[in-house]
């Protein structure tokens, strides 16, 4: 599971669709309607939010908004809390950069035209649920730590 912190506009069509499905799964997990995924580290962002379900709804709405700009038809009624106002979740600048680099690695092979489009980005934007602050990538990003520190 990957819950991208990046703005959804950076994702290709396949990535945006996968993100929609994974965020819907995150909503089910947060709601307590699944047996699995409960301890996935990326879901801690929602679990420890003062309003977990509303935070997931806000996240899903951001993905849905991007889908509309692309004229995709994601089912808005699947978002349980679409109109929530929530506190932003802190996101480290290095986490944002790590995710962008990881996405670009994937896009280079999968959707070269989106890879090229993203190469021109000067300043990274996060999904609107996140507030970017200084800091290192999250501890769950094992591949980052292996590459950088070992």
For residues 12 and 110, the answer to whether their CB atoms sit within 8 Å is: yes
Q: Is 90 helix (H, G, I), strand (E, B) or coil?
A: strand
- For 113-136, how does the pLDDT look when each residue is reduced to its tens digit (9 = 90+)? 999 999 999 999 999 999 999 999
Confidence grade of residue 147 (pLDDT, cut at 50, 70, 90): low
Residue 22, both tokens: 């994974």
Per-residue tokens: 34: 């699944």
Confidence of residue 149 (pLDDT cuts 50, 70, 90): very low
Which pTM does this prediction carry?
Answer: 0.92
For residues 114 and 107, the answer to whether their CB atoms sit within 8 Å is yes
Distance CA 56, CA 64 (A): 12
> pLDDT tens across 28-50, in order?
999 999 988 888 888 999 999 99
| Least confident residue range of 4-8, 64-68, 89-93, 142-146 | 142-146
Whether 7 contacts 23, CB under 8 Å: no
């Amino acid at each position: 599971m990957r819950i991208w912190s990046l703005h959804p506009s950076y994702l290709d069509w396949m990535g945006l669709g996968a993100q929609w499905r994974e965020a819907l799964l995150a909503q089910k997990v947060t709601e307590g309607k699944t047996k699995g995924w409960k301890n996935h580290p990326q879901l801690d962002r929602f679990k420890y939010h003062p309003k977990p379900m509303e935070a997931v709804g806000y996240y899903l709405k951001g993905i849905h908004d991007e889908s509309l700009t692309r004229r995709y038809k994601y089912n808005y009624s699947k978002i349980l809390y679409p109109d929530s106002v929530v506190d932003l979740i802190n996101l480290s600048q290095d986490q944002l950069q790590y995710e962008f680099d990881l996405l670009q690695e994937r896009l280079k092979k999968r959707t070269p035209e989106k890879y090229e489009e993203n190469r021109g980005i000067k300043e990274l934007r996060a999904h609107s649920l996140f507030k970017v602050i200084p800091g290192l990538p999250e501890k769950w990003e094992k591949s980052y730590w292996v590459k950088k520190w070992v």
